[in-house]
């Protein structure tokens, strides 16, 4: 790439600053992306400690690779793909391959969003498939600071307990605010499979909060 | 319009397609059935509100952070890398 009359993009500036060894740029990148990198790593590896190692390896690979980086994708996508590859390699070494099949084909086994017993049967004469046991309004105690803290603890715990595919998709979409297209890109998911995982994860968490509010009304 | 598009959406179907509705990926005919059902069903209005509340609450969870020791060690690695670059 020679000199150009076009304005430099912020992305090109970022690459230049990183190549020139600008520490503030590196620290900023690490601070911006490490949390979601770690979340992504945890879709593939089993422990927090291994996820940290994979994130660390990823940043080292970024440093050694930045001189050769050709800008065919965004820096962000490039970094996250490095992480995905490393986490998968690590998972294979740990023999945790079940997560890939969940990511690739989340259709089976099918889980309903809500327990089917809460609906009237399809053969019901007037209201087939309508609520038999409708969702109760969540109590106003959700606004209470103490209840709120406890409920957020429950939500965090249950998010961490979701199957890995659902967990990583819900976390990247709803905790980190990623658009669907980026989640698909980084995880190699089709739009439909991404939506299935998001739907299952959110539906399960809604059910958990519903149960929580029913107990703490 | 085929029969499917005319058929009223039942609550049980609504909870299965709600993510597509929130994502804006539901086909137009299904979106109309969804909206038509919602207009007359307070239980499904509540369900939709709970899904939206869940997304808001999840957005308030703290992201996973790196251990301070990992960050320190990364910074050390960066400085070694930078120094090795300038020697080249």
- Domain boundary assignment for chain A: 10-96, 106-215
Tell me what ipTM this predicted complex has. Answer: 0.89
The CATH number, out of the four listed (3.90.1300.10, 3.40.50.450, 1.10.10.10, 1.10.20.10), of the domain defined by the range A106-215: 1.10.10.10
Q: What is the DSSP letter of A203?
A: H
What confidence tens digit (pLDDT) does each residue in B21-79 have?
Answer: 999 999 999 999 999 999 999 999 999 999 999 999 999 998 888 999 999 999 999 99
Residue A141 pLDDT:
61
CA distance A167 to chain B (A): 12
Stated pTM of the model: 0.88
d(CA A171, CA A205): 12
Please report which residue ranges of B1-88 form alpha helices under DSSP H.
3-6, 11-23, 28-40, 42-58, 68-87
Residue B1 pLDDT:
44
Structure tokens at A36: 């979601």
CA A68: distance to chain centroid? 29
Q: Which of B51, B65, B66 to mutate to test the interface with A (most CBs of A within 10 A)?
A: B66
CA angle A145–A215–A212, rounded 5-degree value: 60
d(CA A2, CA A103): 42
> Average of pLDDT values for A24-35?
94
Instruction: Answer whether A55 sits within 8 Å of B13, measured CB to CB.
Output: no
d(CA A53, CA A72): 27
Closest listed residue to residue A58, CA positions, set A38, A42, A31, A32: A38
pLDDT tier for residue A157 given thresholds of 50, 70 and 90? very high
What confidence tens digit (pLDDT) does each residue in B68-86 have?
Answer: 999 999 999 999 999 988 7
Instruction: Answer whether B19 sits within 8 Å of A198, measured CB to CB.
Output: yes
Q: Is B52 on the interface with A (CB under 8 A)?
A: no
CA distance A30 to chain B (A): 8
Structure tokens at A112: 């309903």
Instruction: Answer whether A134 sits within 8 Å of B43, measured CB to CB.
Output: yes
Residue B8 pLDDT:
87
Instruction: Answer whether A177 sits within 8 Å of B82, measured CB to CB.
Output: no
What confidence tens digit (pLDDT) does each residue in A61-107 have?
Answer: 999 999 999 888 889 999 999 999 999 899 888 776 555 566 766 66
Least confident of A99-103, A118-122, A168-172, B29-33: A99-103
Q: Which fold has domain A10-96?
A: Rna Polymerase Sigma Factor; Chain: A (1.10.1740)
């Amino acid at each position: 790439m020679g000199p150009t009359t076009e304005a430099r993009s912020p992305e090109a500036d970022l690459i230049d600053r990183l190549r020139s060894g600008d520490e503030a740029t590196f620290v900023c990148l690490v601070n911006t992306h490490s949390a979601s990198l770690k979340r992504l790593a945890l879709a593939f590896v089993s422990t927090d400690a291994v996820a940290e190692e994979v994130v660390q390896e990823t940043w080292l690979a970024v440093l050694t690779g930045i001189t050769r980086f050709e800008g065919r994708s965004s820096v962000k996508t490039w970094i996250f793909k490095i992480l995905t590859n490393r986490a998968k390699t690590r998972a294979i070494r740990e023999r945790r391959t079940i997560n890939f099949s969940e990511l690739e084909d989340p259709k089976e086994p099918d889980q309903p969003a809500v327990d089917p017993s809460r609906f009237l049967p399809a053969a019901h004469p007037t209201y087939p498939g309508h609520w038999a046991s409708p969702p109760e309004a969540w109590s106003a105690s959700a606004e209470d600071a103490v209840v709120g803290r406890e409920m957020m603890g429950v939500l965090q715990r249950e998010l961490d307990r979701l199957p890995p595919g659902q967990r990583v998709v819900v976390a990247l979409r709803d905790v980190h605010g990623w658009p669907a297209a980026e989640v698909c890109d980084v995880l190699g998911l089709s739009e439909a499979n991404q939506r299935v995982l998001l739907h299952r994860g959110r539906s399960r968490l809604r059910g958990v909060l519903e149960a929580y509010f029913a107990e703490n009304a | 319009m085929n029969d499917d598009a005319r058929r009223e959406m039942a609550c049980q179907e609504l909870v299965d397609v709600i993510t597509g509705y929130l994502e804006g990926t539901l086909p137009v005919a299904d979106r109309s059935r969804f909206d038509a059902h919602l207009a007359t069903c307070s239980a499904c209005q509540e369900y939709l509100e709970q899904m939206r509340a869940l997304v808001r609450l999840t957005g308030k969870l703290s992201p996973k952070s790196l251990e301070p020791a990992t960050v320190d060690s990364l910074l050390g690695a960066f400085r070694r890398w930078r120094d090795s670059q300038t020697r080249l």
